[in-house]
Amino acid sequence: MDDLKFGTRNKRGDYSPNAALQGAPLLRWPFQPLKVIRWLPQYFLPWNALFFALGTALWFWVTPPRETLSTLDWRWMALLLLRNALIVFVVFGALELRLYIQRKQGNRFKFNGAFPADKPSPVFMFRSQNLDNILRTFGTGVPIWTAYEILMLHLWAIGWGPWATLEAHPWALVALGLAIPILHEAHFFAIHRLIHWAPLYRWVHSVHHNSANPSPWSSLSMHPVEHLLYWSDILIHLILPSHPLLVLYHLHVTGTGAVIGHVGFDKVEVGDDAAIETQAYAHYLHHKYFEVNYSDGLLPFDRWFGTWHDGTARGDLAMKARMDRTKNRRKSV
């Protein structure tokens, strides 16, 4: 495909799509119901539908029965760890292999024209972004993800929490299922702003931002403290009526879904004239500029707080003006 039909590339080879980022129309004023209705398919397809299908398959076919989960036993806990590690290895690894190792589509649609492997850096273990990211993903990321999953499934099995069944509370479960991506976005924005507080950024979040040119393996490459915060959104299921299937769905929106913002390409080609929209640009801009797009645009928090960047020259100017105001305030103190 000719990516220049859809965007431009600067002298460094960095790609930018022509269309400005819009964000979702939820909570935008004045409320436009027809616009929301037209947008709704994007809310479900393709990613959230895939994560729900994955969570459903795992619940019915690869999750131990309630009797087993009611007793903390290393064998079923190890099974969950292996299962989650395998999913991450297959999904993240397949994207990394195709786009960054085999480089099947070169740098077409690639936001940063360079490839991380071509630029070793001392900020990474072994001077390798990939090795560093992989070690952090499987060293603490997947184990902490699995620990949350073990906790939630065990509490369900022993009846601790407001667990519900589809037969008894269908509308409550449907409503929660529909809201999970929104809840995840709200939680992500909150903890993301928190870890950009200077002390936490220096000691915790800077680990993730070392990958300024992210690839799929960067998705869960974080400090363990950030991993603990990142997956803590799952604790909402101990407050609202829920079901373990929704817990698994939520975990994969948070875990497997992290790859969406870190794939590094605007489109992934699936043929000579076809490609999948990644919806990765908003989060790529956060990795590029650090102080914009603390969420991905599903909720308008960044617009409300003045940190939204739509990927255009106008967005650059707004960001620069905000940073200048911040510098001037600090100087005046």
pLDDT of residue 272: 85
User: What whole-number distance in Å separates Cα of residue 291 and Cα of residue 284?
Assistant: 12
Residue 333 has pLDDT above 80, yes or no: no
Task: For residue 20, give the DSSP letter.
Answer: P
Residue 29 has pLDDT above 90, yes or no: no
Cis, peptide link before residue 143, omega less than 30° from 0: no
For residue 253, give the amino acid letter: V
Tens digits of residue pLDDT in 202-228: 999 999 999 999 999 999 999 999 999
Q: Which domain holds residue 246?
A: 26-292
User: What average pLDDT does range 311-320 have in this prediction?
Assistant: 94
* Cβ within 8 Å of residue 11, ≥6 positions away: none
For residue 156, being part of any structural domain is answered with: yes
pLDDT of residue 263: 98
For residue 17, being part of any structural domain is answered with: no
For residue 312, being part of any structural domain is answered with: no
Compute the 3-state secondary structure of the chain and give helix, strand, coil in percent, each to the nearest 5.
60, 5, 35
Res. 328 pLDDT band, cuts 50 70 90? confident
Q: Are 165 and 243 in contact (CB under 8 A)?
A: yes
Q: Is 240 helix (H, G, I), strand (E, B) or coil?
A: coil
pLDDT of residue 294: 98
Q: Which of 30, 17, 15, 208 is nearest to 123 (CA)?
A: 208
User: What whole-number distance in Å separates Cα of residue 91 and Cα of residue 98?
Assistant: 11
Percent of the chain with pLDDT over 70: 100
Q: Maximum Cα–Cα distance for the chain, whole Å?
A: 63
Give, for 39, the enclosing helix (H) or strand (E): helix 33-44
pLDDT of residue 106: 96
For residue 51, being part of any structural domain is answered with: yes
pLDDT of residue 330: 81
Res. 270 pLDDT band, cuts 50 70 90? very high
Tens digits of residue pLDDT in 156-197: 999 999 999 999 999 999 999 999 999 999 999 999 999 999
Number of folded domains that form the chain = 1
Residue with tokens 């071509």, as numbered in its chain: 118
**Average pLDDT for the chain:** 96
Residue 31 has pLDDT above 80, yes or no: yes
Tens digits of residue pLDDT in 129-145: 999 999 999 999 999 99
Res. 28 pLDDT band, cuts 50 70 90? confident
User: What average pLDDT does range 59-69 have in this prediction?
Assistant: 97
Residue 277 has pLDDT above 90, yes or no: yes
Residue 329 has pLDDT above 90, yes or no: no
Tens digits of residue pLDDT in 285-301: 999 999 999 999 999 99
User: What whole-number distance in Å separates Cα of residue 71 and Cα of residue 236?
Assistant: 23
For residue 220, being part of any structural domain is answered with: yes
pLDDT of residue 271: 86
For residue 119, being part of any structural domain is answered with: yes
For residue 243, being part of any structural domain is answered with: yes
For residue 136, being part of any structural domain is answered with: yes
Residue 121 has pLDDT above 90, yes or no: yes
For residue 232, give the amino acid letter: S
Q: Which of 110, 101, 98, 91 is nearest to 130 (CA)?
A: 101
